Amino acid sequence: AEPTGLPRDLEGRSVVVSAGGTREPLDPVRYLGNRSSGRQGFALARVAAHRGADVTLVAANTADLVVPAGVRLRRVGTAEELRSELLEVADGVDAVVMSAAVADFRPSGSAEHKIKKNSGDPPPVELSRNPDVLGELVRRRANGRLRTEVIVGFAAETGDPDTTVLEYGRKKLAHKECDLLVVNAVGDGRAFEVEDNAGWLLASSGMEHPVPHGSKTLLASRLWDAVVEQFAAGDS
């Protein structure tokens, strides 16, 4: 491997990272999507590979990003596809990091033909709930149907007058029951389609680290540091 100056502390470990935003079709040419670029997930995959991990990157729709060297790429489109791909690759790996922006809802039916505007009033879009992939991974592990030591979630939150971003993050960690949660403060053009993130790294153990304003690569390094700590706690 090229000298990177990074610790090789993920040598012998296998990890799965999901990235990008899902697209839920309305008809053959239109979809409901989100603004995730996939940059954070690609940074996570790149840093993990540099630190010696065997990396599978499950990428939904992303900006035109360079696939990091040595990383196994699997492309998906919808939340359903992301779910089935993850269930296929996650079992037996050491860590799964869900940085993908998964659509909570999808159009209940995708029209077989392009919806035309000249057919009267616009049709209402009826939505159905998508599976919660992170929730399912955590549930499967609890049932013994998935062997994965560390499961990591991401949360993009905006604060409001009653509840801060950090408080929303703590609630989400308690609700999701994953091992680590990265909480990003969004709004004012932060986090989406920009290079920088700022937020917190929360662990189910109660550990809370602020993640200062910095690059997505820096956040990725901090996250893998925390994952390595979890491996060490699990080994002892």
Residues in the annotated binding site for CTP: 104, 114, 131-134, 154, 172, 176
Q: For residues 61 and 78, what is the distance between their CA atoms, to the nearest angstrom?
A: 9
Is residue 45 within the footprint of ligand CTP (CB under 6 A)? Answer: no
Is residue 199 within the footprint of ligand CTP (CB under 6 A)? Answer: no
3-state secondary structure of 13: coil
End-to-end CA distance of the chain: 29
Q: Which of residues 72-91 bind ligand CTP (CB under 6 A)?
A: 79
Is residue 155 within the footprint of ligand CTP (CB under 6 A)? Answer: yes
Q: C-alpha angle with apex 213: 208 to 217, nearest 5 degrees? A: 90
What secondary structure letter does DSSP report for 21?
Answer: B
Which stretch in 33-41, 70-78, 132-140, 218-226 sits in contact with ligand CTP by CB under 6 A?
Answer: 132-140
Is residue 132 within the footprint of ligand CTP (CB under 6 A)? Answer: yes
Q: For residues 26 and 222, what is the distance between their CA atoms, to the nearest angstrom?
A: 38
Smallest separation (angstroms) from ligand CTP to the CB of 164: 15
Which stretch in 3-11, 51-59, 129-137, 187-195 sits in contact with ligand CTP by CB under 6 A?
Answer: 129-137
Binding site, residues? 104, 114, 131-134, 154, 172, 176
Which stretch in 53-61, 64-72, 115-123, 153-161 sits in contact with ligand CTP by CB under 6 A?
Answer: 153-161
- DSSP assignment of 37-78 equals -SHHHHHHHHHHHHTT-EEEEEE-B-SS-PPPTT-EEEE--S
Q: For residues 196 and 203, what is the distance between their CA atoms, to the nearest angstrom?
A: 22
Is residue 104 within the footprint of Ca ion (CB under 5 A)? Answer: yes
> Is 34 one of the catalytic residues?
yes
Is residue 100 within the footprint of ligand CTP (CB under 6 A)? Answer: yes
The encoded tokens of residue 118 equal 């000249």
The encoded tokens of residue 136 equal 């399912």
Indicate which single residue of 130, 184, 197, 221 sits in contact with ligand CTP (rule: CB under 6 A): 130
Query: Which positions touch ligand CTP (CB under 6 A)?
Result: 79, 98, 100, 102, 104, 130, 132-134, 153-156
> Which residues are tagged catalytic?
34
